[in-house]
Amino acid sequence: MARAYKAKWIIPSDGSIWENSVLIVDEGKIQEIIKEENFNPELYSHVKDFKNAVITPGFVNLHNHLQYNYLQKNKSKTLKGKFKRLYTNLQKHYFLTGISKKSFIYRLSNLLSDYFCMTREEKVDSFKKGLETSLLNGTTCVAQLSKESKYFDVLNETPMKTFLFFELFSDSVDSSKDEFRNIQKKIEKLKNQKSDNTFIGIAPHSACCVHKRLFRILEKYCKKHNILMTIRLGESKDELDWLNHGFSDIDLLNEFTGHKKFEPAVTGLSPAKYLEEMGILSKQLLISYGNYLSDSDLEILNKNKVSLAYCPRISDNLHNQKLSLDKVLEFFPNRFGFGVNSLAFNSDLSLLNELKYVNNGVLNVIDAIKYLTIIPAKILRLNNIIGSLETDKDADFNVFELDEAQDYNEILNKEKPNHVYIKGKRVVKRGELNIKN
């Protein structure tokens, strides 16, 4: 028999708000929403009345590096750990001498150094904790960026919907060919092993870290196989300098991470114009950040129907600059969602806090929920199974309990839901994980 979930308010992400209604779920799928006066509790095996509460679809997070969420801060006491830390410190001293320790380049090098010194088990544990923290914040679908395939099994086993974008780097024609051959084999292997909740995409890291040869290959490959691609674009001032002059402090970071110095295919171009030159601008492309994009760049992206993973808090934290929400709404209408990156550079993994950071009353509750649910689901091409509370979609939803005098608008002041359901099963109960191993 079906289950029923009653609430004062239900916001299904279709532009409507249901008052005093009931969400009907059967075998993990949404059946319908009905008004309370038409509800007969005797027809259902389970009835849960949340009373003065709001039910929304589960949230979709478009940009995550879950492996960095719980980096080990203490120095390893093992000989191997001490050697790794000594080695990376010597590398930083050699390659990054003269770089401000407050700069984006230096802070990122510290992150990569800490990550390099972790054991495989510590990395996987950090990743798992990142997934759990995301769930607690009402995120039921994550887009994860990583070069490593070690996290595939973890993603494959989680009840969350997960989109694993494999990060790619190359600094020459030869490394481009090698990188493509490796990712091609990896995708062919994993697509036959993935669960129904796991999806795979490609993430050339950025214009400064990917050779033109790899861009050309990926453009044809992704178009032929209808694969989603995501890339950092206009993230930092260093990126603009590299594209404009052919060199910047990013060269030092590339050398620190083991890549050779290389130059843009064409110098003097803006970030969007450069990607246009590489031939990868399309509605299958998801960019992240965009902090230093000009209006002309944004217009190019708009014309090509490119989508945006909007990460305002980490943009301010690392770069002291972000796109305003007004700009985002102007140039990415119905084509953006929010991302939190990781706890390495963000205070929490709450998408609601990401929204509050920039909203200031710009988006009302109905539109805000859309940009947390159905719109990013469409960007990931998962809107046939998640993103709204529609018939036959997976019953992934959040429940926000309210005080007696509060109404549905109060959820924009919340940080996280009280309960989270995935396929009709409660995975978070009163702010605590409710997953049985």
Dump pLDDT digits (tens) for 71-117: 765 555 666 767 777 767 777 776 787 788 888 888 888 888 888 88
pLDDT digits (tens, 9 = 90+) for 385-408: 999 999 999 999 999 999 999 999
Mean pLDDT of 327-351: 96
Q: What is the pLDDT of residue 72?
A: 61
Go through 128-150 and write b for each residue having 16 or more CB atoms within 10 A of its CB, e for each that does not. bebbbbbbbbbbbbbbbbbeeee
**What pLDDT is recorded for position 74?**
52
- Sheet of 336-338, strands arranged across: 59-64, 139-146, 161-168, 198-204, 229-233, 285-289, 307-310, 336-338
When pLDDT is averaged across residues 193-205 and rounded to a whole number, the result is 94
pLDDT for position 95:
75
CA distance linking residue 308 with residue 324, whole number of Å: 13
pLDDT in tens, 367-384: 999 999 999 999 999 999
Q: What is the pLDDT of residues 245-264, one digit of tens each?
A: 999 999 988 888 888 889 99
pLDDT of residue 94: 67
Q: Is the pLDDT of residue 22 over 80?
A: yes
Query: CATH 2.30.40.10 spans which residues of the chain?
Result: 3-58+388-433
User: In the chain, pLDDT over 70 holds for what percent of residues?
Assistant: 97
What's the topology of domain 3-58+388-433? Urease, subunit C; domain 1 (2.30.40)
- Tokens describing residue 330: 């102007």
Token pair listed for 6: 């009653």
b/e per residue 333-360 (b: at least 16 CB within 10 A): eebbbbbbbbbbbbebbbbbbbbbbbbe
Residue type at position 342: S
Residue ranges of the chain assigned to CATH 3.20.20.140? 60-379
Q: Return all residues near 389 (Cβ < 8 A) that are at least 6 apart.
A: 10, 12, 13, 14, 23, 30, 33, 55, 57, 397
Block residue for tokens 């759990």: 132
CATH number of this structure's domain 60-379, picked from the four choices 3.40.640.10, 3.20.20.140, 3.40.50.720, 3.40.1080.10: 3.20.20.140
Q: Which uninterrupted H or E stretch holds 198?
A: strand 198-204
For residue 437, the model assigns a pLDDT of 45
Cβ burial of 372 (10 Å; 0-12, 13-18, 19+) is buried
Pairing verdict, β 336-338 and 307-310: parallel
Q: Which residue has the higher pLDDT, 389 or 157?
A: 389
Q: Which of 26-35, 41-50, 84-93, 232-241 has the lowest mean pLDDT?
A: 84-93
pLDDT at 240 over 50: yes
pLDDT at position 168 is 96
Residue scoring higher pLDDT (330 or 100):
330
Q: What are phi and psi of 122, to 5 degrees?
A: -65, -40
Q: CB-based contacts of 357: which residues, under 8 Å, 6+ apart?
A: 312, 313
Reported as half-sphere exposure (CB side, CA atoms, 13 A), residue 303 has a value of 9
Q: What is the DSSP string of 116-172?
A: HTS-HHHHHHHHHHHHHHHHHTTEEEEEEEES-STTHHHHHHSSSEEEEEEEE--SS
CB atoms near residue 320 (< 10 Å)? 10
Query: What percent of the chain is predicted at pLDDT more than 90?
Result: 81
Inter-residue long-range contacts of 38-45, CB under 8 Å, 24+ positions, other chains counted: 39/4, 39/6, 41/4, 43/1, 43/2, 44/1, 44/2, 44/3, 44/4, 45/1, 45/2, 45/3
The Cβ-side half-sphere exposure at 277, using a 13 Å CA radius, reads 17
Of 359, 108, 137, 146, the residue nearest 249 (C-alpha): 108
292-309: per-residue pLDDT in tens? 999 999 999 999 999 999
Size of the chain in residues:
437
CA 10 to chain centre: 25
**What pLDDT is recorded for position 77?**
60
pTM of the model: 0.95
User: Nearest to residue 315, comparing CAs of 346, 356, 360?
Assistant: 346
